[in-house]
Amino acid sequence: MSNSDVAADQSGGVQSVDRAITILEVLARHGEVGVTEVALELGVHKSTAFRLVSTLENHGLVEQSGDRGKYRLGVGLLRLAGATTARLDVVQEARPICKRLAAETGETVNVAVLSGSSALYLDQIAGSSALQPHNWVGQHIPLHATSNGKVLLSGLDEDDLDDVLHELPALTGLTVTKRSRLRKELAVVREQGYATAVDELEEGLTAAAAPIRNAHGDVIASLSVSGPTFRLGEEKMTTVVPQLTEAALEVSHRLGWGHR
Protein backbone atom coordinates (compact mmCIF):
# COMPACT_ATOMS: atom_id res chain seq x y z
CA MET A 1 0.00 0.00 0.00
CA SER A 2 0.88 3.58 -0.04
CA ASN A 3 1.82 4.17 3.56
CA SER A 4 5.00 2.18 4.07
CA ASP A 5 6.77 4.16 1.35
CA VAL A 6 8.32 6.87 3.42
CA ALA A 7 10.49 8.60 0.84
CA ALA A 8 8.91 11.87 1.84
CA ASP A 9 11.65 13.90 3.44
CA GLN A 10 15.36 14.45 2.98
CA SER A 11 15.07 16.44 -0.23
CA GLY A 12 17.78 18.73 0.97
CA GLY A 13 15.63 21.80 0.67
CA VAL A 14 13.57 24.11 2.78
CA GLN A 15 11.86 21.88 5.29
CA SER A 16 8.45 23.50 5.48
CA VAL A 17 8.16 23.81 1.74
CA ASP A 18 9.14 20.18 1.40
CA ARG A 19 6.41 19.22 3.80
CA ALA A 20 3.85 21.46 2.14
CA ILE A 21 4.47 19.91 -1.26
CA THR A 22 4.36 16.45 0.25
CA ILE A 23 0.92 17.37 1.53
CA LEU A 24 -0.16 18.23 -1.98
CA GLU A 25 1.10 14.88 -3.16
CA VAL A 26 -0.74 13.10 -0.37
CA LEU A 27 -3.95 14.90 -1.30
CA ALA A 28 -3.40 14.00 -4.94
CA ARG A 29 -3.17 10.34 -3.99
CA HIS A 30 -5.98 10.13 -1.48
CA GLY A 31 -8.44 12.74 -2.66
CA GLU A 32 -9.83 13.94 0.66
CA VAL A 33 -7.69 13.84 3.76
CA GLY A 34 -8.01 15.26 7.27
CA VAL A 35 -5.38 17.20 9.15
CA THR A 36 -4.67 14.37 11.55
CA GLU A 37 -4.11 11.87 8.81
CA VAL A 38 -1.80 14.29 7.00
CA ALA A 39 0.18 14.80 10.20
CA LEU A 40 0.52 11.07 10.58
CA GLU A 41 1.75 10.63 7.05
CA LEU A 42 4.33 13.40 7.37
CA GLY A 43 5.40 12.35 10.83
CA VAL A 44 4.77 15.81 12.27
CA HIS A 45 2.46 17.22 14.87
CA LYS A 46 -1.17 17.93 14.06
CA SER A 47 -0.71 21.65 14.55
CA THR A 48 2.19 21.74 12.12
CA ALA A 49 0.20 19.97 9.49
CA PHE A 50 -2.68 22.33 10.11
CA ARG A 51 -0.62 25.44 9.60
CA LEU A 52 0.89 24.11 6.42
CA VAL A 53 -2.52 23.17 5.08
CA SER A 54 -3.89 26.59 6.04
CA THR A 55 -1.13 28.33 4.16
CA LEU A 56 -1.84 26.25 1.10
CA GLU A 57 -5.51 27.06 1.49
CA ASN A 58 -4.86 30.80 1.56
CA HIS A 59 -3.36 30.48 -1.87
CA GLY A 60 -6.15 28.32 -3.22
CA LEU A 61 -3.98 25.25 -3.70
CA VAL A 62 -6.18 23.26 -1.35
CA GLU A 63 -9.78 23.71 -0.24
CA GLN A 64 -11.71 22.59 2.77
CA SER A 65 -14.96 20.72 2.44
CA GLY A 66 -17.46 22.15 4.88
CA ASP A 67 -16.51 24.32 7.82
CA ARG A 68 -14.42 21.90 9.82
CA GLY A 69 -14.11 19.23 7.22
CA LYS A 70 -11.34 17.45 5.41
CA TYR A 71 -9.07 19.00 2.82
CA ARG A 72 -8.65 18.40 -0.89
CA LEU A 73 -6.71 19.91 -3.77
CA GLY A 74 -7.99 23.31 -4.89
CA VAL A 75 -8.57 25.02 -8.17
CA GLY A 76 -5.58 27.30 -7.74
CA LEU A 77 -3.58 24.39 -9.07
CA LEU A 78 -5.52 24.53 -12.31
CA ARG A 79 -4.40 28.08 -12.82
CA LEU A 80 -0.76 27.15 -12.34
CA ALA A 81 -1.09 24.10 -14.53
CA GLY A 82 -2.73 26.23 -17.20
CA ALA A 83 0.31 28.46 -17.22
CA THR A 84 2.47 25.35 -17.54
CA THR A 85 0.70 23.94 -20.56
CA ALA A 86 0.83 27.35 -22.19
CA ARG A 87 4.52 26.86 -22.81
CA LEU A 88 4.39 23.09 -23.15
CA ASP A 89 4.17 21.72 -26.57
CA VAL A 90 4.62 18.18 -27.61
CA VAL A 91 7.42 18.79 -30.07
CA GLN A 92 9.36 20.86 -27.58
CA GLU A 93 9.16 18.28 -24.84
CA ALA A 94 9.70 15.32 -27.09
CA ARG A 95 12.69 16.60 -28.97
CA PRO A 96 15.55 15.68 -26.61
CA ILE A 97 14.03 12.28 -25.98
CA CYS A 98 13.54 11.73 -29.70
CA LYS A 99 17.14 12.58 -30.35
CA ARG A 100 18.25 10.04 -27.80
CA LEU A 101 15.95 7.43 -29.30
CA ALA A 102 17.26 8.16 -32.78
CA ALA A 103 20.81 7.75 -31.54
CA GLU A 104 20.03 4.49 -29.73
CA THR A 105 18.24 2.89 -32.64
CA GLY A 106 20.10 4.53 -35.49
CA GLU A 107 16.78 4.95 -37.28
CA THR A 108 14.50 7.88 -38.05
CA VAL A 109 12.16 9.10 -35.33
CA ASN A 110 8.88 10.95 -35.99
CA VAL A 111 6.21 12.70 -33.95
CA ALA A 112 2.70 12.78 -35.38
CA VAL A 113 -0.74 13.96 -34.26
CA LEU A 114 -4.26 13.37 -35.47
CA SER A 115 -5.42 16.04 -37.88
CA GLY A 116 -8.82 15.56 -39.38
CA SER A 117 -8.81 12.11 -40.92
CA SER A 118 -5.09 11.74 -41.39
CA ALA A 119 -1.87 11.79 -39.41
CA LEU A 120 0.05 15.07 -39.41
CA TYR A 121 3.79 14.72 -38.94
CA LEU A 122 5.14 17.43 -36.63
CA ASP A 123 8.78 16.56 -36.19
CA GLN A 124 11.45 14.26 -37.47
CA ILE A 125 14.92 13.32 -36.27
CA ALA A 126 17.02 11.54 -38.84
CA GLY A 127 18.80 8.36 -37.83
CA SER A 128 22.54 7.93 -38.05
CA SER A 129 22.35 5.68 -41.08
CA ALA A 130 23.57 6.83 -44.44
CA LEU A 131 20.34 5.93 -46.13
CA GLN A 132 18.04 8.85 -45.28
CA PRO A 133 14.32 8.71 -45.81
CA HIS A 134 12.54 11.76 -47.12
CA ASN A 135 11.26 14.32 -44.70
CA TRP A 136 7.66 13.76 -43.57
CA VAL A 137 7.28 16.91 -41.49
CA GLY A 138 4.11 18.83 -42.34
CA GLN A 139 2.71 16.00 -44.43
CA HIS A 140 -0.64 14.33 -43.98
CA ILE A 141 -0.35 10.55 -44.13
CA PRO A 142 -3.11 7.91 -44.21
CA LEU A 143 -4.03 6.58 -40.78
CA HIS A 144 -4.69 2.99 -41.68
CA ALA A 145 -1.36 2.31 -43.35
CA THR A 146 1.08 3.60 -40.75
CA SER A 147 2.13 2.61 -37.27
CA ASN A 148 1.60 6.20 -36.13
CA GLY A 149 -1.87 6.18 -37.60
CA LYS A 150 -2.79 2.98 -35.82
CA VAL A 151 -1.61 4.36 -32.50
CA LEU A 152 -3.60 7.56 -32.99
CA LEU A 153 -6.66 5.56 -33.97
CA SER A 154 -6.26 3.31 -30.95
CA GLY A 155 -6.89 6.35 -28.75
CA LEU A 156 -10.32 7.00 -30.24
CA ASP A 157 -13.56 5.39 -29.21
CA GLU A 158 -15.85 3.56 -31.61
CA ASP A 159 -17.93 6.58 -32.57
CA ASP A 160 -14.96 8.77 -33.38
CA LEU A 161 -13.40 5.96 -35.38
CA ASP A 162 -16.30 5.97 -37.79
CA ASP A 163 -16.08 9.72 -38.21
CA VAL A 164 -12.42 9.56 -39.04
CA LEU A 165 -12.15 6.46 -41.18
CA HIS A 166 -13.56 6.86 -44.63
CA GLU A 167 -11.84 4.62 -47.13
CA LEU A 168 -8.96 2.24 -46.69
CA PRO A 169 -7.18 2.33 -50.03
CA ALA A 170 -4.48 -0.30 -50.64
CA LEU A 171 -1.14 1.45 -50.96
CA THR A 172 0.88 -1.75 -51.16
CA GLY A 173 0.00 -5.40 -51.20
CA LEU A 174 0.13 -5.52 -47.43
CA THR A 175 -2.02 -2.50 -46.56
CA VAL A 176 -4.87 -3.28 -44.21
CA THR A 177 -8.02 -2.56 -46.21
CA LYS A 178 -10.73 -4.35 -44.22
CA ARG A 179 -12.32 -2.44 -41.33
CA SER A 180 -12.82 -5.56 -39.27
CA ARG A 181 -9.15 -6.43 -39.65
CA LEU A 182 -8.15 -2.90 -38.67
CA ARG A 183 -10.35 -2.94 -35.59
CA LYS A 184 -8.71 -6.15 -34.48
CA GLU A 185 -5.30 -4.64 -34.96
CA LEU A 186 -6.28 -1.58 -32.93
CA ALA A 187 -7.38 -3.83 -30.08
CA VAL A 188 -3.94 -5.43 -30.17
CA VAL A 189 -2.30 -1.99 -30.20
CA ARG A 190 -4.28 -0.93 -27.12
CA GLU A 191 -3.34 -4.20 -25.48
CA GLN A 192 0.40 -4.22 -26.13
CA GLY A 193 0.95 -0.45 -26.12
CA TYR A 194 2.53 -0.09 -29.54
CA ALA A 195 1.78 -0.57 -33.24
CA THR A 196 3.82 -1.75 -36.19
CA ALA A 197 3.50 -1.43 -39.95
CA VAL A 198 5.61 -3.49 -42.33
CA ASP A 199 5.48 -2.61 -46.03
CA GLU A 200 1.98 -1.24 -45.55
CA LEU A 201 2.55 2.34 -46.67
CA GLU A 202 5.46 1.79 -49.00
CA GLU A 203 7.31 -1.30 -50.11
CA GLY A 204 10.37 -1.78 -47.98
CA LEU A 205 9.34 0.66 -45.25
CA THR A 206 8.86 -0.61 -41.70
CA ALA A 207 7.82 1.39 -38.63
CA ALA A 208 6.79 0.98 -35.01
CA ALA A 209 4.93 3.59 -32.95
CA ALA A 210 3.84 4.16 -29.36
CA PRO A 211 1.35 6.61 -27.83
CA ILE A 212 2.14 9.90 -26.13
CA ARG A 213 -0.47 10.78 -23.50
CA ASN A 214 -1.37 13.98 -21.67
CA ALA A 215 -2.23 14.36 -17.99
CA HIS A 216 -5.71 12.99 -18.60
CA GLY A 217 -4.41 9.88 -20.28
CA ASP A 218 -5.68 10.87 -23.72
CA VAL A 219 -3.52 9.87 -26.67
CA ILE A 220 -2.47 13.26 -28.01
CA ALA A 221 0.39 12.23 -30.27
CA SER A 222 2.37 9.30 -31.53
CA LEU A 223 6.08 8.59 -31.54
CA SER A 224 7.56 6.33 -34.19
CA VAL A 225 10.78 4.70 -35.30
CA SER A 226 10.98 3.86 -38.99
CA GLY A 227 13.48 2.56 -41.46
CA PRO A 228 13.99 0.17 -44.35
CA THR A 229 12.46 -3.24 -43.79
CA PHE A 230 15.75 -5.04 -44.32
CA ARG A 231 17.24 -3.22 -41.32
CA LEU A 232 14.19 -3.45 -39.08
CA GLY A 233 13.66 -7.19 -39.03
CA GLU A 234 12.12 -9.32 -36.31
CA GLU A 235 15.13 -9.47 -34.02
CA LYS A 236 15.99 -5.76 -34.40
CA MET A 237 12.41 -4.98 -33.43
CA THR A 238 12.71 -6.85 -30.15
CA THR A 239 15.28 -4.28 -29.06
CA VAL A 240 13.75 -1.25 -30.74
CA VAL A 241 10.22 -1.63 -29.40
CA PRO A 242 11.16 -1.47 -25.70
CA GLN A 243 13.31 1.59 -26.39
CA LEU A 244 10.43 3.16 -28.26
CA THR A 245 7.75 2.53 -25.64
CA GLU A 246 10.14 3.69 -22.95
CA ALA A 247 10.77 6.95 -24.80
CA ALA A 248 7.06 7.54 -25.45
CA LEU A 249 6.34 6.94 -21.78
CA GLU A 250 9.01 9.42 -20.81
CA VAL A 251 7.51 12.10 -23.01
CA SER A 252 4.08 11.33 -21.55
CA HIS A 253 5.50 11.80 -18.08
CA ARG A 254 6.83 15.17 -19.09
CA LEU A 255 3.33 16.10 -20.16
CA GLY A 256 1.90 15.10 -16.78
CA TRP A 257 0.80 11.53 -17.42
CA GLY A 258 1.45 9.43 -14.39
CA HIS A 259 -1.49 8.65 -12.13
CA ARG A 260 -1.04 5.15 -10.99
Partner DNA sequence: GGGTGAGTTGCGTCCACGGCAACGCATTCT
Partner DNA sequence: AGAATGCGTTGCCGTGGACGCAACTCACCC
Interface positions, 10-39, toward DNA (CB under 7 A): 14-19, 34-37
- Identify which of 210, 173, 178 has the alpha carbon closest to the alpha carbon of residue 191: 210
- Looking at the DSSP bridge assignments, the partners of residue 225 are 109, 208
Q: Does position 100 bind a second copy by CB under 8 A?
A: yes
Q: Are strands 71-73 and 140-141 parallel, antiparallel or unpaired?
A: unpaired
From DNA, a second copy, none, interface partner of 96 (C-beta below 5 to 8 A by class): a second copy
**CA–CA dist 9, 15 (Å, integer):** 8
Q: Applying CB under 8 A, which of residues 136, 151, 206, 207 lies at the interface with a second copy?
A: 136
From a second copy, DNA, none, interface partner of 243 (C-beta below 5 to 8 A by class): none
Residues binding DNA: what is the number (CB under 7 A)?
25
- Of the CA atoms within 13 Å of residue 225, those in its CB half-sphere come to 34
For every residue of 99-128, DSSP letters joined together read HHHHHHH-SEEEEEEEETTEEEEEEEE--S
Shortest distance, position 96 Cβ to a second copy, whole Å: 7
Name the one range near DNA by CB under 7 A: 45-53, 144-152, 179-187, 192-200: 45-53
Residues in 122-151 at the binding interface with DNA, rule: CB under 7 A = none
Q: Kindly state the DSSP code that residue 168 receives in the 8-state scheme.
A: -
* Nearer CB in complex with a second copy: 182/221: 221
Residues in 106-135 at the binding interface with a second copy, rule: CB under 8 A = 113-116, 120-122, 128-130, 132, 134-135
Residues in 198-217 at the binding interface with a second copy, rule: CB under 8 A = 215-216
Q: Does position 25 bind a second copy by CB under 8 A?
A: yes
Q: Based on the number of CB atoms within 10 Å of its own CB, is 5 exposed (0-12), middle (13-18) or buried (19 or more)?
A: exposed
Q: Does position 75 bind a second copy by CB under 8 A?
A: yes
Q: Applying CB under 8 A, which of residues 34, 37, 46, 55 lies at the interface with a second copy?
A: 55
Shortest distance, position 16 Cβ to DNA, whole Å: 3
**CA–CA dist 73, 82 (Å, integer):** 15
**CA–CA dist 149, 219 (Å, integer):** 12
Q: Footprint of DNA on this chain (CB under 7 A)?
A: 14-19, 34-37, 44-48, 50-54, 64, 67-70
